[in-house]
Amino acid sequence: MKNIKLKIARIENDISQEQLAEQVGVTRQTIGMIETGKFNPSINLCIAICKALHKTLNDLFWEEDNNENKHIDR
Amino acid sequence: MKINISTDERVKSEIQKIAGNAYYVVMGLLLVSFLVEMVVFDSFRYFFAEWVIFLIGCIYFGVGCMLKGHWDLISKPGIKSYLLYSVISSAIFTTVFSVINYLKWTPPTGEGTIKYFFMIFLIMFIFLFCLMFAAMFISGSIVKGRQKKLEDQYDDSEEN
């Protein structure tokens, strides 16, 4: 599943994949693969990305489930 | 701007996966080469070095899994799995070993030849089964002990 939230947050912060990769200590390919959903990062890498983009884990990596929303609404 | 590749978890995990697959390929090919060499050569000394390398690889893998408390992906250590694995491995090894030796052997003519060969096959199977079962039992006990130790080490029930 594509991680659009990560891509949007990165663009909002006006940084390239390469810059983000450098900040969190991975290769540019890894950031690209996380954004396209080809690689599931560890929780440590998720936290590093969140810190670099000034976001929370929920903002970038939490997928809202329709059933869950219905449950919360009730 | 240079990235230290060694810190990239994706790269590390992909390299480890490839190395793991390469290990299985090498071990599989070594096993096939033993079978061929057992038919072609008369003496064990021709492939002794490869056999030692193969054994070291197996021991490293086995001991590594035992120390981390891993058995396998489809079963748990117990009498049922010890019996199953012992029977399967003994049957495969005895069959392959017997067939290869039968092909190289010039049997004396007579009615008792097949019976004699079958007896050797059976004795070898029983011996290997006992050996395998003992090895499985010991390694299974170590694995269970390690699993228990890891559970106790990271148990949070006392904290709550």
Which residues have a Cβ under 8 Å from the Cβ of B49 and sit 6 or more positions away?
Answer: none
Interchain contact, B9 vs A27, CB within 8 Å? no
Q: Taking CA atoms, what residue in A is nearest to B4? A: A25
Between residues 39 and 68 of chain A, which touch chain B (CB distance below 8 Å)? Answer: 39, 41-42, 45
CB contact, 8 Å: A17 with chain B? no
Which residues have a Cβ under 8 Å from the Cβ of B6 and sit 6 or more positions away?
Answer: B12
Interchain contact, A22 vs B4, CB within 8 Å? no
Using CA atoms, how far residue B21 sits from A2, B16, B26, in Å, is 28, 9, 9
C-alpha span between B110 and B133 (Å, rounded): 36
Question: pTM value?
Answer: 0.75
3-state secondary structure of A66: helix
3-state secondary structure of B111: coil
Half-sphere exposure at residue B6, Cβ-oriented, CA atoms within 13 angstroms: 0
Output the DSSP codes for B61-109: HHHHHHHTT---SS--SSHHHHHHHHHHHHHHHHHHHHHHHHHH--PPS
pLDDT for the residue numbered A74: 46
pLDDT band at residue A13 using 50, 70 and 90 as cut-offs: very high
Dihedral sign from CA coordinates of A36, A39, A40, A42: negative
CB contact, 8 Å: B8 with chain A? yes
Using CA atoms, how far residue B135 sits from B46, B82, B112, B131, in Å, is 28, 9, 34, 6
pLDDT by position in tens, chain B (length 160): 555 666 789 999 999 999 999 999 999 999 898 888 888 877 778 888 888 999 999 999 999 999 999 998 888 899 999 999 999 999 999 988 888 877 776 666 666 677 777 888 899 999 999 999 999 999 999 999 999 998 888 877 765 5
CB contact, 8 Å: A25 with chain B? yes
Can you tell me the ipTM of this complex? 0.78
For testing contact with chain A, the best of B2, B5, B10 (most A CBs within 10 A): B10
Chain B environment of A30 (Cβ under 8 Å): 8-11
Residue-wise pLDDT tens digits, A43-73: 999 999 999 999 999 999 998 765 555 554 4
CB contact, 8 Å: B19 with chain A? no
| Burial class for B69, CB neighbours closer than 10 Å (0-12, 13-18, 19+) | middle
pLDDT for the residue numbered B43: 74
pLDDT for the residue numbered B4: 61
Chain B environment of A29 (Cβ under 8 Å): 10
